[in-house]
Structure 1
Amino acid sequence: MAALDHPLLERLRDAMPNDPEMQIVGKFMRCDVLLSSGDKRYLLRFDHGRLTEIVEDPHPALAWNFALKAGPGTWERFLQDPPPPEFHDVWAAAWLGHLTLEGDIKVFMQNHFAFWRTLKLLRIQAQATSGAAA
């Protein structure tokens, strides 16, 4: 099963510039997002639909616009393709208590389509890796 980790995020970074949908919906995406999986934390900096920086275990003083926080089991289910019920979307997982969405919800909504596509690309990259390992 795939886990949220630094190598997966690097594959996401490499996939984003070549994705035709991201080139459209990510054109104005400029935000900093904190993802956590248990006690692992990653600060992702996005600029015009590109993942420009991945900061592993960021210092608490580093600012972010919004955060998705969940345990490793939630990320494993979220990264499956297809994901099981309740893990198919950020909103479903948040409303049903599987993950926490924190921070500036206005910035999240301004970047919702681009961030949704980012998470879909993350799932695609996770599956490409687990498919190669199988």
Structure 2
Amino acid sequence: MSAQTSAPTAEAWAEAFAEASNNDTEIQAHGKYFTCSYLLDATDRTYVIQVESGRVTHVTANPGPLDVAYQFAIRASADTWREFGQPVPAPMFHGIWAASFQRDMKLEGDILVLMQNLRCITRQVELLRVVGSPV
């Protein structure tokens, strides 16, 4: 078995992430009102994830600054996102709150929308352990 030497393309990751999220029973159970758009910023790549009623309807890879509107952003270095994508993340890389308190993760924008959808956002971040790092 060989280790993966590079991350998938931005488009391939976006497709895998949308599929994993849309097929996740926990998100579907909790996500009836999970409707928002957010930016996942991994320094080397950015994604705007659009969700309607718990389903990812579109993921825009590497949008320009005015291409797609979003309500809040989750920003961290590529190294932090790579740690999140590990099957068993190291301490302080297991969730957005731990990483924002102890690492370089920043939560910006309309945090109320983030808090209203926190369980589903948390689950989507946990899915990085399945689909891998966005970078």
TM-score under structure 2 length normalisation = 0.84
Quote the residue 2:38 is aligned against.
Answer: 33
Corresponding residue for 2:95? 89
CA distance in 2 between partners of 1:106 and 1:77 (Å):
26
Q: CA-to-partner distance for each residue in 1:29-84, whole Å, 9 max, x for gaps?
A: 10001011114211110111111111122232232111111111111111112100
In the alignment, which residue of structure 1 is the partner of 2:123?
A: 117
Higher helix proportion, which one?
Answer: 1
Please say which of residues 116-125 and 74-83 is displaced more in the overlay.
116-125
CA distance in 2, matches of 1:71, 1:59: 19
Q: 2:64 aligns with which of 59, 67, 74?
A: 59
| Distance change (3 Å), C-alpha of 1:56 and 1:17 | closer
Which stretch has the larger CA shift, 98-107 or 17-26?
17-26
Given candidates 51, 74, 83, the residue that maps to 1:77 is: 83
Deviations 1:83-111 (A, max 9, x none): 00111100000111321111111000000
User: Does the CA contact (< 8 Å) of 1:3 and 1:75 recur in 2?
Assistant: no
Alpha-carbon distance change, 72 to 65 in structure 1, aligned in 2, over 3 angstroms: same
Aligned equivalents of 2:132 and 2:42: distance in 1? Answer: 15
Unpaired segments ≥5 residues, structure 1: 128-134
What letter matches 1:95 in structure 2? F
Identity value in percent: 37
Taking the TM superposition and a 5 Å limit, the aligned residue runs for 1:8-19 are 8-19=13-24
Q: Distance in 2 between matches of 1:3 and 1:33?
A: 22
Structure 1 CA distance, aligned partners of 2:12 and 2:99? 24
Determine the structure 1 residue equivalent to 2:51: 46
Number of equivalences: 127
TM-score (norm 1): 0.85
Gaps of 5+ in 2: none
